[in-house]
Each structure stands twice: as structure tokens, then as C-alpha cells.
Structure 1
Amino acid sequence: MSTNVTETLQFNCTTCPSECLLTVEVERDANGAVAAVRFVTGNSCPRGDKFAHQELTCPMRVLTTTVAVSGGDEALLPVRTAEAIPLTLHAQAMDLIRGVVVDAPIRMGDVVLEDLLGTNIDLAASMDIDPT
């Protein structure tokens, strides 16, 4: 006998400007985790279906933050991941990034950290910083 519970959720897809209102039926296990996505409606393109599945099973976000700069005309360098990484890794990534100090000069797009937490996704500079 299954102890899973079926639940209907509604949220907007954010993959394009249409922001379709998705209605998603999910099956949750006894611990409340999503065991299965049963169906997705409301999406006007296939990206909405893919977004709903990913958002409910492994949400992904681009991480944006700053790192300290040594010898630069700015004290902080804005950085971001080149692609989205699992939301569950953001706190661990921030713990690692918090200790990073880059030396000026640095150019937008320069890799600050390669292969962040084994994701094969780099952390890159989001602006230029010149030396003082």
C-alpha cells in the first residue's frame, strides 16, 4: 500500500517572457519529497514542462555574489556562475567563495574559480577591475 500523497501546485514558468501559469500535479512520498511529477498543464511550449520537472526535482539557479579584490580600483568584484547550478549547492558554494581574493587587474569573463564544487561550471568575473 502506497503512502504517497497527490498534490496540485501552481507557479509561473520563468524560461521566457510569457511566464505561463503552470498547474502541476505531483506525488509526494511519506517524507514530503516529490516522488513523481504526474502532469503539467498551462505551458504554451515544451520548455514549461521541462522547467516544472526540474524546479520540483532539482531546482537550478545562477549564483551571483562578490569576491574581495587585492590591489584594485574597487574593493569587490561581482561574479556569477557561467550557468545555473543546483540550488542545494548555493550555501556550500558561498562558503567556498567567501574566502576568495583576486588580484587586479581582472577582466569581465575571466574565470575566478574553475569547476565550482565539481559542477563543471566556472565562476566568472562580471566586470573589469584595474590596478590602483
Structure 2
Amino acid sequence: MSDTVIETLQFNCTTCPSECLLSVEVERDTNGTVATVHSVTGNSCPRGDKFAHQELTCPMRVLTTTVAVSSGDETLLPVRTAEAIPLALHAQAMDLIRGLAVDAPIRMGDVVLPNLLDTGTDLIASMDIDSA
């Protein structure tokens, strides 16, 4: 009896506005984890193949949230990661970010937290906030 299961998944690629419908044949191990991506079809460009492999092995997302502001004309600063980070780290990142507070003034693009969780990606400000 085989320890793996072959399955075909369908989902949309989100790397461009075309949103190609991908059909992806994967092999899952006994734990249900994707062990191998066998084939990707339906993509109209090479980005779809790369997206499918990434999405099924280590999904990445840009994290967006807010951080408290001290002495500013706003009480919350919208922030985001400068690049996508592993989706599996989002809860841990939120636990860390939840305790942050920044002092005004702050400018869009300023680094709020460098190298978030050793991902090599900074948490940056998404808007300007002036001092109160």
C-alpha cells in the first residue's frame, strides 16, 4: 500500500490581473502535507508555475496591521512588511507587533521594526504621522 496520495488542486494565480485558473497535480505524504508538485497547467506565463510551487510549499504574504503611536496627531500607524513573509509566521509576528509603540513624527517608508522575526524583511510605516 502506498504512503502517498496523488491529488489535483485548482486555484487562481494572484501574481497578475489575469488570475489564471491553475490545475496543480500534487503528491501528499501520509500527514497530508504536499510532498511534491508534479505539474502545473492553466498558467499563461511562467509566474503561475512559480506561484503554484510557492503557494503549496511555503505560502508567502505581505503582513499589514497597525501599531500604536505616542505623541502623534493619529493614535494608530498603518504598517506592512516591505516584502512577503511566510504565512506560517504571521501569528508570531502579530504577537510581537502587538506590543510595539512608535513615537511621532514618522514618515511613510520609515522602518518600524527591522528584520522582523529574522526574515530579512522590515516592518515599515504606510503613512506619515506628525507630532501632536
Fold match (TM-score > 0.5): yes
Give 1:2 shift.
3.2
Q: 1:1-132 residue pairs with structure 2 within 5 A?
A: 2-132=2-132
What letter is aligned with 2:91?
Answer: A
Matched positions, count: 132
Q: Distance in 2 between matches of 1:120 and 1:85?
A: 9
Q: Distance in 2 between matches of 1:30 and 1:72?
A: 53
Q: Distance in 2 between matches of 1:53 and 1:2?
A: 23
The one-character-per-residue Cα deviations of 1:20-69 (angstroms, maximum 9, x if unpaired) are 00000000000000000000000000000000000000000000000000
RMSD over aligned Cα atoms: 0.6
User: 3-state SS of the aligned residue for 1:8?
Assistant: strand
Identity of aligned residues (%): 83
Q: Distance in 2 between matches of 1:116 and 1:42?
A: 35
- State TM-score, norm by structure 2: 0.99
List alignment gaps of at least 5 residues for structure 2. Answer: none
What letter is aligned with 1:57?
Answer: T
Q: Distance in 2 between matches of 1:92 and 1:118?
A: 12
User: 3-state SS of the aligned residue for 2:9?
Assistant: strand
List alignment gaps of at least 5 residues for structure 1. Answer: none
